[in-house]
Structure 1
Amino acid sequence: MKPVAILLHGAMGSEKQLFPLKQLLSENFDVYALNFTGHGGKAFGEEFGIERFSEDLVQLLDQKNLNNVNIFGYSMGGYVAINAALSDSRIAKILTLGTKFGWSPESATQAVKMFDPGKIEEKVPAFAETLKLMHQPQDWKEVMTHTTKMMISLGKSPILHSKNLKEVKIPVIIGLGAEDNMVSVHESKEVVNALPQSEFQLYEGFKHPIEQVDISLLANDLTEFFLKES
């Protein structure tokens, strides 16, 4: 029986973005991916945010009867994975990439500047069309509005902080692309310092979008980390 790997997408993303990575990992793992509530065509619920997405992950573990799972969390997916690990002992290891941990009112205000549906339609219509196709039949603009509200909320009250991060006592790698313009080395290393079993991994040449990373290199690192005995 193969070990289990779960892939979690980022904000405004979907599980389809992770299918190339899923394919590379499938030789060594039983690989699962999921769409968070309101993403990838999945219906909206009464809640939208990190807690709801963490519940989506927990529901997958319950439905598939999964245990001792390894998780790759891209961007927001990494935040969800670590939040879920605070209360779910079935999570064994986590590797995050491009996850923003340094939330404050100022950083949230800066982040949401890029989340303007009108400007996106006007200046990058091809990206708007990609988002439309990714989230249909849901309205991508509604997904973006909810995401903006989530970021503002995180800015006011971050869910992960130094006090609860110390409770995540599993091996974690905090990965960051050297060319990522959305996440800083400083905020990533602060999380590494707060987590009991964590290390920082800088990926040269990686930018923030998952489509602009070397998936083969990432798959190799995930395989090595997940298969290594703790």
Structure 2
Amino acid sequence: MWDLNRAERKAMGAALVLVGVSLVTRTLLAPDPGRLEGLDTIDPATDLAGIEGEVVAALTREQRAQTPLADGEQIDVNRAPADELRRLPGVGPSLAEALIEERQRAPFREPADLERVGGVGEVTARRLAPHIRFDPGAPRPGPGPGARRPAPAPAAAMVMGCPPGGARIDLNRADRAQLESLTGIGPALAARIIDDRSENGRFETPEAVTRVRGIGARTLARFREQVCAGAR
């Protein structure tokens, strides 16, 4: 037996009590592994890697949002994602989302249109004007009576389809190797995409791929610009 004085024995006793309380607490409060749901659906080889990738992607977007505009740089308010809009002076996360929500109702055509967004007044619109641009392809008011309407775009060039030239990977036709070439997609997720489209039919839009287990909005954002959803 250790030769301890009274103070040392009291200190050791207190430490043993704390250890005992900790063990009892963990035993009582720890969840029953048999009751945990969804453990059989976890694929450590892909799901954990996907989580890590999403964290990296989120940090990258946040870093981009904090990057000041370069001299003369302008941002397209009809196309830019939230992290790009946040680079505009005075635009935070809430206002960026409000701009995106409003442009989905109707595109912005001039700085004054920004005043449709709550929190943006005339002064703010004037302050943003030198730093923004408007996509010339954004819808414009219809032509007047008798005006000649432009011919419709070819089906191959439609936004919901795939652009000509094979610049993007078609989610509805791609084989496993092509899918694995996408950012954030490994063998397991590539196989799930193929299985899903075989069982549930084609992806109507690239966003529809989020119905595949393991692919959420953040994962899609990593490869969204690399894919399209063509007709099968």
- TM-score between both structures, scaled by the size of structure 1: 0.24
Please, what TM-score do these two structures have when normalized by structure 2?
0.24
Structure richer in helix, relative to its length: 2
Structure 1 or 2: larger strand share? 1
